[in-house]
Structure 1
Amino acid sequence: MRLLHTTDLVLKEFFDNAIPRYAILSHRWEEEEVNLQDFVAIRNMTKPDAGYRKILRCCKYAASCGCDWAWIDTCCIDKTSSAELSEAINSMYRWYRRATVCFVYLSDRDQLKASRWFSRGWTLQELLAPTGPVLLLDRDWRGISTKRRMSDLLADITQVPASLLKGTTDLAEFSVAQKMSWAARRRTSRIEDAAYCLLGIFGVNMPLLYGEGWKAFARLQEEILRVSEDRSIILWHEETELADRYGLCTGLLAPSPACFERCGLQGIEDDFTGTRPYRLTNQGLERLNTLAKSTWIPAAN
């Protein structure tokens, strides 16, 4: 894990138990973001652009919170290395989870509900993962409030239950379909990231294959099926519009997170979330006879 020193602005790699306390930034990527190579080249510039100023302000805020180190995805990952990018994406949920404090920077915040931070795929895990304080900041880096204090409003915006945002319930208490529903209206710049941004939420790992399109989401569901006995993953609903938009139907597997939009607030029956074993085969889900009457099960191709 590469961290940035909040006062010296020096990048340093740490591993496993040697990782120090650090602050972490959650934000929406905009123009003029500074990558690792840019940061090394312009660290001493006298008139920094917007992306570099964001890094400086984050470091200053982190230092004021008692953190000597910070992690910022723009400059702390070498994106020219496919191996490092893959490791970072597969580790990111854990990195947000173990951070001392998480800053949610709402650069476009006029009205909280209108911030595009709530519509991005990657920011869902950044909302859910942290176990430490999550501080919401406006465009001038002034504190708005905390995730815990604003949990009811954030629940209304994101459809994530307030109890989870408050920390009174655990992510493991919610079904696969419910978790998928929280991502239903979120978007990513690259199609594959709609799947990759959910890896940590479902506790799975898989290689990154940019260029595979929506097949990445099918692979994600297959990985979930391998580690979970929660059959609610088949409770998606296919609209004709979605089928036309995504052009991919894999039988029991949903073509995109949007197909789970209806699964958020409705209860999932025990038959779908119990511990009865099952597995995915080339014929479908083994031992599906008890679920045959469900109108939520999509027809196979």
Structure 2
Amino acid sequence: MTSSGASGVVHPDIEQVIRNVAFEMLKTMPVRLLHTPTGILCDRNTQVSHFMDSRQCKRLVSLCSTCSQDQQMELIRTDILRHFQYIMLSHRWGEDEPSLRAVEGCSIYGMSTRGGFGKLQAFCRVALERDYLWAWSDTCCIDKYDCAEVQETIGSMFTWYRQSALTIVYLSDISDAGSLGSSEWFRRGWTLQEPLAPRTVLFYTQNWSLYKNLVVSNHEADVAVLEEVARETGIESQFLTNFSPGMDDARLILQWASSRRTTRPEDIALFAFRDLQRPSLCSSGKISVLDWVGEPSPFHSCFPAHIASYQRPPALPSYPNTEEQPITMSQGPSSFEVMRNFSGSLATSLLPCFLSRSLTLSSVAHRVPAVQQRTPDSYSPSDVYDFHSLTRVPHPRILNRLLILPCIAYRVIAVQLSEPDPSRPNYTYHIQASGLKPLEITSLIKLEDIRTPEGALHLVGPWHSKLLGPSVEPDAVTEEQLVSALGTPFNALLLTQLSHHEYKRIASSTLITVQSVDQASILESKVRILNVV
């Protein structure tokens, strides 16, 4: 069926065009949404059907039949966006939270008001009062038994919060007279992304009243509330109102998370694995998620057992005399010196990992496919890249829960234990490594206990060509730039070699800062691909 507009243009079936556009636009929105007038959980097919049966759609069809195709598309997109505005719930999980299975096919308004069910009903009523037809809660809008859906959700959470028309933060432990900062919501790891991603936020207290009865459209636009949130989260107000993945330093983001608690140690490892798997992170070379000191996770040696391991910012030592200055072939400070600091910047969001409280590394992470599959000539333990081919080194990544890490490796040739201090639960060693200046390492375990016949120790500096500078073109890198970057002190990892060409990180209680002996050792630098477990 076709219709002809006033301009004489022949239009295709308008309803089918509207349907196609709706499905296309819904791809970037949550898979399921609660329809607030009915309390029914709807998938995308049902959501589109709701729109196609609405008076808004009938009006849209009528308007489109009298305008050009370009005008049609503008009208269609505008009306679909308006119709599918949705709000998100940010909260702490409590008892009896409704699952997808519990609400599927039923109206939530007809269910019990106990625990999480009452919370969900109140949330949807607030959404409806504010004229939003659609609402999302992580308790019931995700099928946690569908691994593919879980992975899509993990990767989409930040975008969903960012695109939402409104995020309601429900503080179940704050009374009307209470203070925002006393809520546990500010101290849980899973809620870190929720002050950052949404553009519009409203805080509701225990009885579903607006915080301090502030009737405004956005609490983060209120100076007093914004200052309170900044104080309690440790996040500067400029980031609360204008955060964008890619604009911030990894250490800053990790420090925001470091004061928060998670209920299981595997949450930290899952968080780190997901972050490293993001292609944008691997290709950018921003791998400072590995830069921590403390107890290692039982799930992977390169990630900490506790998020608090990221609390201390990394710092390189200052060198008071010229003999200890970074090696360089030019006079004056090098613009590349700071880039060799392994802690570097991490232009990414760590936030897509903060999803379901029911996810565990053991149940999910081992099923996560690698972002980019290995090619026949990539990531072999025999691969070696010399000084003149450092800009062609492949990117680090995760493959089958293995951290495949390009590194400049320095073999440890001498280890001497300092006189032990009974009052300190660690061990200090004087270390000599081929190509590096002598240094001290403080380990949480005795190195003698982990050395095996094949278990040589190595100090390694994870390598990526972007360490030369964010805007340096690999094909245009000069020898001077390489020498300058490699001559700067950097934070290293201590690895012990296992069988089958695998390595394990040995945790330390202080950062391990190393420096090349001289320019000759720099020119002999080689990058190897190490498989770290």
Shorter-normalised TM-score: what interval?
0.7 to 0.9
Residue deviations 1:246-290, cap 9 Å, x none? 456745x555532221239xxxx9523399977433545226763
Change (3 A) 1:229 1:286: closer
* Distance across 1 between alignment mates of 2:171 and 2:251: 28
Within the candidate set 227, 237, 254, 1:162 is matched to: 237
Tell me if 1:258 matches 2:288.
Answer: no
The aligned counterpart of 2:345 is 273
Tell me if 1:121 matches 2:189.
Answer: yes
Secondary structure, counterpart of 1:147 in structure 2 = helix
* Distance across 2 between alignment mates of 1:256 and 1:237: 10
The letter of the residue matching 2:494 is: A
The aligned counterpart of 1:49 is 114
Which sections of structure 1, spanning at least 5 residues, go unmatched?
195-213
Is this contact kept in 2: 1:24–1:103, CA < 8 A?
Answer: yes
The aligned counterpart of 2:203 is 136
* Distance across 2 between alignment mates of 1:59 and 1:237: 42
- More strand by percentage: 2
Secondary structure, counterpart of 1:135 in structure 2 = strand
What is the Cα deviation at residue 166 of structure 1?
2.5
Secondary structure, counterpart of 2:37 in structure 1 = coil
Is this contact kept in 2: 1:175–1:232, CA < 8 A?
Answer: no
Moved more, 35-44 or 273-282: 273-282
* Distance across 2 between alignment mates of 1:297 and 1:115: 39
* Distance across 1 between alignment mates of 2:272 and 2:247: 23
Within the candidate set 76, 92, 101, 2:166 is matched to: 101
Is this contact kept in 2: 1:249–1:255, CA < 8 A?
Answer: no
Is this contact kept in 1: 2:169–2:202, CA < 8 A?
Answer: yes
What is the Cα deviation at residue 221 of structure 1?
5.0
The aligned counterpart of 1:299 is 494
Residue deviations 1:84-113, cap 9 Å, x none? 222222211111111000000000124322
When the two structures are superposed, what TM-score results if normalisation uses the length of structure 1?
0.76
Within the candidate set 258, 267, 281, 1:184 is matched to: 258
- More helix by percentage: 1
Change (3 A) 1:247 1:12: closer
* Distance across 2 between alignment mates of 1:221 and 1:82: 18
Number of aligned residue pairs: 268
Secondary structure, counterpart of 2:167 in structure 1 = strand
The letter of the residue matching 1:293 is: P
Tell me if 1:28 matches 2:58.
Answer: no
* Distance across 1 between alignment mates of 2:244 and 2:157: 19
When the two structures are superposed, what TM-score results if normalisation uses the length of structure 2?
0.45
Within the candidate set 269, 273, 280, 1:219 is matched to: 273
Secondary structure, counterpart of 1:73 in structure 2 = coil
Is this contact kept in 1: 2:201–2:220, CA < 8 A?
Answer: yes
Residue deviations 1:173-223, cap 9 Å, x none? 2112211211112233344444xxxxxxxxxxxxxxxxxxx3x34523533
The letter of the residue matching 1:9 is: G
The aligned counterpart of 1:290 is 486
Change (3 A) 1:95 1:170: closer
What is the Cα deviation at residue 115 of structure 1?
0.9
Is this contact kept in 2: 1:217–1:255, CA < 8 A?
Answer: no
Change (3 A) 1:255 1:32: closer
* Distance across 1 between alignment mates of 2:304 and 2:489: 19
Larger Rg: 2
Residue deviations 1:36-90, cap 9 Å, x none? 1212357464642121111111111111222111011112112232222222222
Within the candidate set 73, 78, 99, 2:143 is matched to: 78
* Distance across 1 between alignment mates of 2:129 and 2:338: 48
Is this contact kept in 2: 1:108–1:139, CA < 8 A?
Answer: yes
The letter of the residue matching 1:85 is: V
* Distance across 1 between alignment mates of 2:124 and 2:93: 17
* Distance across 2 between alignment mates of 1:274 and 1:112: 30
Residue deviations 1:89-143, cap 9 Å, x none? 2211111111000000000124322211112222111221112x10011011111
The letter of the residue matching 1:222 is: L
Change (3 A) 1:74 1:192: same
Change (3 A) 1:8 1:31: same
What is the Cα deviation at residue 233 of structure 1?
3.9
The letter of the residue matching 1:10 is: I
RMSD, aligned α-carbons? 3.2
Residue deviations 1:152-189, cap 9 Å, x none? 2211111112111122x644321122112111122333
Change (3 A) 1:96 1:217: closer
- Per chain length, whose mean CA-contact separation is higher, i.e. which structure has more relative contact order (CA < 8 Å, sep 6+)? 1
Change (3 A) 1:46 1:38: closer
